[in-house]
Amino acid sequence: MNKIQWLATALSAFLFLSCQGESSTGKEDAVTEKKPLSEVLPGAWESVSIRVEVNTAENTDSSYVFEVKEEEWAERLATRPIRLYFSPDNKYRQEFIALNGDNLSTTKGLWNTFGDTLMLIEPNATYQYEVSAGKGLAEFRTMMDWDGDGEDDDSYLAIHRQVSRATE
């Protein structure tokens, strides 16, 4: 095989493999296409971390960051990670459980999604989060009044891991 034939064969193989790579990438993109939140959320989710950037804490010029990572949860909060249960009929509950297994509190309500926005509606409050989800994790972001100063100026980020597709 002379150099020209070898080069033509190598070039043909390269082009063939390149085209194969492009078509498989297109297929992978179609398979991993983002599902609507209404399809992703049903199931049980557990808190992994919380980060709140508090702006002008208690009407002063001071700011601070409150952050709890997964490995610090029990020590810093003396509870198990928060559990959220989203049922397919748009009902949800959030459970706060002590380290010994006692239920500290439960909140219940309705949930609905609008694009990447999640609304949690309880009898006396409504919460709105921007949610991005993938690979079994969901990030909930919002601005809220964490420090009780009357201003929704504190940046809240909670990361949750899906632990089950079941809601019980």
| Distance in angstroms (rounded) separating the CA atoms of residues 36 and 57 | 36
Q: Is residue 72 domain-shared with residue 154, that is, in the same domain?
A: yes
Q: What is the pLDDT along the chain (168 residues), one digit of tens a residue?
A: 543 343 333 333 333 333 444 444 444 444 445 789 999 999 999 999 999 998 875 566 678 899 999 999 999 999 999 999 999 999 999 999 999 999 999 999 999 999 999 999 999 999 999 999 999 999 999 999 988 888 888 999 999 999 998 876
Q: What is the reported pLDDT for 3? A: 37
Q: Is residue 54 domain-shared with residue 25, that is, in the same domain?
A: no
Q: Is residue 3 domain-shared with residue 84, that is, in the same domain?
A: no
Q: Is residue 46 domain-shared with residue 29, that is, in the same domain?
A: no
SS3 140: strand
Q: Is residue 88 domain-shared with residue 42, that is, in the same domain?
A: yes
Looking up tokens 């972001």 gives 141
Q: Is residue 92 domain-shared with residue 149, that is, in the same domain?
A: yes
Q: What is the reported pLDDT for 57? A: 59
Q: What is the pTM of this model?
A: 0.75
Q: Is residue 124 domain-shared with residue 77, that is, in the same domain?
A: yes
Q: Is residue 43 domain-shared with residue 116, that is, in the same domain?
A: yes
Q: Is residue 148 domain-shared with residue 73, that is, in the same domain?
A: yes
Burial 148-165 (b: 16+ CB within 10 A, else e): ebeeebbebbbbbbbeee
- By residue range, what is the domain housing residue 3? 1-33
